[in-house]
Amino acid sequence: MKSKNNKVMKEYFYSFSKKCLLTAAILLSMLPSCNEDILQEKPLDFFSPDNAFLTEQGVMQGIVALHDRVRMAYYSFGEFGTMSWRVHGSDLGYMGEAPQHNTYYINSYQDVNPIRRYVVDTWNTGFQIIQWTNVLIEKIEELDAGIFQDGEAGKNLYLGEAKFFRAFAYRYLVSTYGDIPLLKEPVKSAKADFVRDPVSEIHKLMEEDFKFASEHLPNPGEEAAPGRITKGPALHYLGETYLEKGEPQLAVDVLTKAITNFNYDLMIERFGNHLDKDIFGSGDAYYDLFGYENHNLTENKEAMWVIQVEPFIQGGGFVQGAYIFGPRYFDIGLTPDGYQAILGTIYDGRYTGYSDTLSRGTANVRGTSLVYYTIWKDNWNNDTRNAEHNLKRNIYFDNPASAYHKQKIDFSLYNPPRPNPLEDTTKCLYPVHTKFLDPLNYFEQPNRAGGGRTHKDWYALRFAETLLLRAEAYLGTNQPALAAADVNRVRARANANPVSPEAIDIDYILDERARELYGEEWRLIILRRTNKLIERVRKYNDNPVIPGADIEPHNVLWPIPQNQIDLNVDAEFPQNPGYE
């Protein structure tokens, strides 16, 4: 069971956010857009940044709004951080439901242009978060430390959390677009003379912000509520920033602090809500990491930053994980002997057509052969991350009237062959990582086995990722033995064979990240940082309709949204090469 203290703090955090969020969001986004007279108005009887952030509770409203805004972006379909964008356009996956040219997902980089929704939404969301953080930072800095319960330390804690989110937003934007405006203060009037500051200046601000956060945020375990930011994530992303800057030794130093100074560890023993409730025959500690209510447990030493998404409390919600990553097995149609292939669970006296263990997937993300086969070939039977309870490869016919009932679905059983083999393999049937599912815990839409929604929290950052990031830093300092040691610490938990220092290179680490962090890491950021995006997409993105995703060298960066260029009439704002 979740600790009582965590549960109470979580309910408080979301009850408070429900009451404050709308007001805080309005306050953070209120910007005059006409003339200097408006800028001089003194609000007396309505909320604005000038009269809301005058108390510690008011500042907390702003922090809550930032958490909620990042959470919304994290799980959206178009904004940065969305679950599908952690895979699409990379070496790990494509849009399986419709693998052809697609308006909403990157099956082909030739479809990426300055007016695409995801190009525009990612830009707007990132700079909205930056604007919100800048408004809040400015107001906190104006406040006397005496208004905070913990004085100067309390003031710096809120500043650290706001600066963390500013750097976090810039992390995605600078990776995606390259040179972008560097904004350290809120924009307070209509502005049409933005300039593109160099990547190096953006990285400098990120370094400063993450460093400040790492010095002033609480230690892990001392945060005010689950999901609040602590020193651990700040050190992790500071280390990543040093790698972006080409300073691997500095990365090693700060990542070592994150790894050794706190109580983080890989989960080795089974724990939490999955015990005695294994759905797919067995389980292990890796499987337990993704169990409902397990993310915030005190004994979970691997959680570093958890996005809070749960039902039944104010401010809670859902994640469409089963929806995005699951295959459309329910579209298979008939068994080889002519019966409905999937009857599913019974609701209101009728078969739903959906399994209450798999829920309702839509094949928005279909993994590549690299994800499902290549990276496991040397440890197929012993790496537990490839076991059926973690990577489910077998789905069964479900109709007692058929002679094939409870047999594994195999399209070679059909005679004559099925008419749409491409659709069968990219949309209807492929392995699914069970971390995205929540078997028998689908609380909504019982007529559709939950409709693909889960109500689990989700890891923004896990300790395994920090170990693999330090391994990358060790490679950069020419210490392959230490790099192998960090990777092998992750592999040992999975009962995988260790890698030798002679065999480890950046591609091996990228493969290990895919084994351990598929769907969790922001893959495009990783591939850009390691200069592997073009090479690995061409090699591993095996979309049968558009192999290699039509990627060209200029596609490493996305285009600047056209409306940003068109509205910036008082200064040159050049487009990224290849998109003019």
Inter-residue contact 202 to 170 (CB < 8 Å): yes
Question: 81 falls in which pLDDT band (50, 70, 90)?
Answer: low
Question: 426 falls in which pLDDT band (50, 70, 90)?
Answer: very high
Q: Burial of 37 by CB count in 10 Å (0-12 exposed, 13-18 middle, 19+ buried)?
A: exposed
Least confident of 139-148, 312-321, 436-445, 525-534: 312-321
Average pLDDT of the chain? 91
Summarize pLDDT for 110-121 with one digit per residue, the tens. 999 999 999 999
Question: 6 falls in which pLDDT band (50, 70, 90)?
Answer: low
Residue 47 clears pLDDT 70, i.e. is over it: no
Least confident of 40-54, 80-94, 206-220: 40-54
| Conformation bin of residue 478: beta by default, left when phi > 0, alpha when psi is -120 to 50 | left
DSSP for 492-509, written as a single string: HHTTPPPPPTTT--HHHH
For position 396, what pLDDT does the model report? 98
Question: 397 falls in which pLDDT band (50, 70, 90)?
Answer: very high
Q: How far does CA 183 lie from the centroid of its chain?
A: 24
Q: Give exposure, 41-51, as e/b (b: 16+ Cβ within 10 Å).
A: eeeeeebebee
Residue 142 clears pLDDT 50, i.e. is over it: yes
Question: 310 falls in which pLDDT band (50, 70, 90)?
Answer: confident
Question: 73 falls in which pLDDT band (50, 70, 90)?
Answer: confident
Beta bridge partners of 307: 458
For position 3, what pLDDT does the model report? 44
**For helices 231-244 and 199-216, angle between their N-to-C axes, nearest 10 degrees:** 160
Average pLDDT over residues 417-431: 97
Q: Running DSSP on this structure, what letter comes out for residue 272?
A: G
Q: What percent of the chain has pLDDT over 90?
A: 81
Average pLDDT over residues 420-441: 95
Residue 190 clears pLDDT 70, i.e. is over it: yes
Bigger pLDDT: 282 vs 174? 174
For position 318, what pLDDT does the model report? 79
Residue 315 clears pLDDT 70, i.e. is over it: no
Residue 76 clears pLDDT 80, i.e. is over it: no
Beta bridge partners of 180: 197
Q: What percent of the chain has pLDDT over 70?
A: 89
Domains of the chain, each with CATH number or no CATH: 4-260 (1.25.40.390), 267-300+309-456 (no CATH)
For position 27, what pLDDT does the model report? 44
Inter-residue contact 474 to 482 (CB < 8 Å): yes
Summarize pLDDT for 546-566 with one digit per residue, the tens. 999 999 999 999 999 999 999
Residue 2 clears pLDDT 50, i.e. is over it: no
Average pLDDT over residues 160-170: 98
Distance CA 569, CA 577 (A): 20
